[in-house]
Amino acid sequence: MKLLVGTRSSKLAIAQTNIFLNGYKNICNWYAEEGQKFIDVDFEIKKFVTQGDKYSKEGKVRFDKINFVSDIEKALLAKEIDIAVHSAKDMPAKLDPRFEVIHFAENEYIDNKLIINSNQDLYIFKDKIDISKIAKIGESYDLSGLRVGTSSLRRKMQAKFFYGADNVLDIRGNVDTRMQKLFDNQFDCIILAEQGLRRLGIYKNDLNCFVSSNLPAMGQGIVCLQYRAEDEKARKIISTIFDNNNLLNGNINAFIEMAEAQQFVSALGADCNSAIAIQVDDATDWGNCRGLMLKAEIYGKDSFIRVASHDENGDILKKEYATMKEFPHAGEHEVITNILIEEAIEKGALDLLNEHN
């Protein structure tokens, strides 16, 4: 059986595709050791230069990230490919019902230690800058006067509000290009996702950087597999791979977490380009938590708001949650999300988002 897998042609996109394909190979090898044969599939990667890639090459930074996805989706509908691989943060908040998706983030063994998927940002500095000299009391940093490069509106506002950055500049290109611009002294600091760097074989311990504790973008660090809703062959292959591989975190928790993040962002009329950060965790077994933990920040030009379902100790903040059962069902997840959507709107989230239009 042959399945065509479509993805962008960038190094990171290929690396993320290979996470999925290597997961399949690992299962095949395990079955072989047990004297059995796994599903016989010949995967072939088909690379795409999307409209988003073209816009980026032209130097544009203000375009919808769906442009990194739509060309591959068209090929999927035309049956030119069977499976598409995307960065989840490029996906729209409202998904196309013609497709099924599964989200995953790999767990990785490094130096015999299990490294769980990270969705954090790294603030990477040129080598001449001593990070210890810009550290402030309370483990924060002062980036005032430094040329900070990012094309993300969320990261721009976080750098401004939390690190005092007053000279945040647009930066374009893939990871290699951005790193080179840093080395060429075009920037003093650039902001990149830790997981993306790790997938390219670049680790934070090898960089002059600090790890940000700020909230991520929706879907950051997560990979999205997409296939046609009526394609039972692809459905069976994908579900079997994830059911048998514990190094790929493709499970019901990941699905719920992405679904609630998409619901929250979509309800505010926002998308992956908006000045919004969100983190959703399934915390049924964490401390005093029950069910879904959701926290989000919405940034205007000069102020921001924060909403959260739990405090730092894992205690539920809202009295409306008090009736939740120890093991909540999906409907209760939606209750939490809807309450926080209402709170964000009451605090002025829509006006803050509109400040950037």
Query: Is the pLDDT score of 347 beyond 90?
Result: yes
Judge whether 2-104+222-249 and 118-211 match in fold. Answer: yes
The arithmetic mean of pLDDT across residues 167-193, rounded, is 94
99-116 tens-digit pLDDT: 999 888 776 555 555 455
Domain boundaries defined on the chain: 2-104+222-249, 118-211, 256-354
CA separation for the pair 349, 352 (Å, rounded): 5
The arithmetic mean of pLDDT across residues 14-27, rounded, is 88
Query: Is the pLDDT score of 43 beyond 60?
Result: yes
The arithmetic mean of pLDDT across residues 270-297, rounded, is 76
What is the DSSP-derived secondary structure letter of residue 38?
A: -
Region of poorest pLDDT, from 210-219, 265-274, 289-298, 325-334: 325-334
Using DSSP bridges, classify how beta strands 121-125 and 209-211 pair: parallel, antiparallel or unpaired.
Answer: antiparallel
pLDDT at 281: 80
pLDDT at 328: 46
pLDDT at 168: 97
Edge-to-edge order in the sheet of strand 304-308: 276-282, 292-299, 304-308
pLDDT band at 283 (very low <50, low <70, confident <90, very high): low
pLDDT at 173: 85
Q: What is the dihedral of CA 21, 255, 214, 338, to 10 degrees?
A: 160
Token pair of 310 as six digits: 């739990």
pLDDT at 329: 45
More confident residue, 272 or 283: 272
* SS3 (DSSP) at 17: helix
- Residues forming beta bridges with residue 86, ordered by sequence position: 224
pLDDT at 222: 87
The arithmetic mean of pLDDT across residues 234-263, rounded, is 73
Token pair of 320 as six digits: 């409306």
More confident residue, 10 or 255: 10
* E strand or H helix at 74: helix 70-77
pLDDT at 332: 62
Q: If one looks up domain 118-211 in CATH, what number appears?
A: 3.40.190.10
pLDDT at 24: 85
Give a three-class secondary structure readout of 152-218.
Answer: CHHHHHHHHHHHCCCCEECCCCCHHHHHHHHHCCCCCEEEEEHHHHHHCCCCHHHCCEEECCCCCCC
Query: Is the pLDDT score of 117 beyond 70?
Result: no
Q: What is the dihedral of CA 34, 223, 225, 101, to 10 degrees?
A: 120
Query: Is the pLDDT score of 232 beyond 70?
Result: yes
pLDDT at 57: 77
Fold for 2-104+222-249, please state it: D-Maltodextrin-Binding Protein; domain 2 (3.40.190)
Cβ atoms within 10 A of the Cβ of 184, count? 9
- Residue 257 CB contacts under 8 Å (≥ 6 apart), including other chains: 280, 281, 282, 292
The arithmetic mean of pLDDT across residues 182-190, rounded, is 97
Query: Is the pLDDT score of 127 beyond 70?
Result: yes
pLDDT at 30: 81
Which CATH superfamily groups domain 256-354?
Porphobilinogen deaminase, C-terminal domain (3.30.160.40)
Token pair of 213 as six digits: 């504790």
Residue pair 296/277 in contact by the 8 Å Cβ criterion: yes
Q: What is the dihedral of CA 151, 86, 299, 337, to 10 degrees?
A: 180
Residue pair 294/279 in contact by the 8 Å Cβ criterion: yes
pLDDT band at 76 (very low <50, low <70, confident <90, very high): very high
Mean pLDDT over each residue of the chain, to the nearest integer: 85
The reported pTM is: 0.87
What size, in residues, is the chain?
357
